[in-house]
Amino acid sequence: MSKTLKKLFGLSPRINYTRLIQEGAMVLDVRTPAEFEKGHIAGAINIPIEQLRANMNQLVNKHRVIIACCTDGSKSWYAKNLLDANGYRSVYNAGDWRKLQKRIQLH
């Protein structure tokens, strides 16, 4: 995968998600509740992408780091862009939640 695509989808190996989480980052899983219940990262909050705009009030602190994840990176990419456009300062698209979970466990 090209560097541009990796950067676009938040797949850069330079981001230390483990450190971000240890420092208080929120993991935002934008999959459906049914998908979330089948498995998710411990401590993640679930706001389906279709409901994110109407439920941004749940993400009160616009300066808190948010790590968005989903099944393949497309919904979390949309979530990152939506949150960025609404004044959230530090939003990362981590892509596939299973890959994010493995990256967190490796550190």
Catalytic residues: 70
CA distance 19 to 35: 26
Q: Is 2's pLDDT higher than 90?
A: no
CATH assignment of 3-106? 3.40.250.10
Query: Who has greater pLDDT, 6 or 77?
Result: 77
Q: Report the pLDDT averaged over residues 29-54.
A: 97
Q: Is 106's pLDDT higher than 90?
A: no
Q: Is 6's pLDDT higher than 90?
A: no
Please provide the distance, in angstroms rounded to a whole number, between the alpha carbons at the two ends of the chain: 23
> Confidence band (pLDDT; 50, 70, 90) for 14?
confident
Q: Report the pLDDT averaged over residues 94-104.
A: 95
Pairing of strands 45-46, 91-96: unpaired
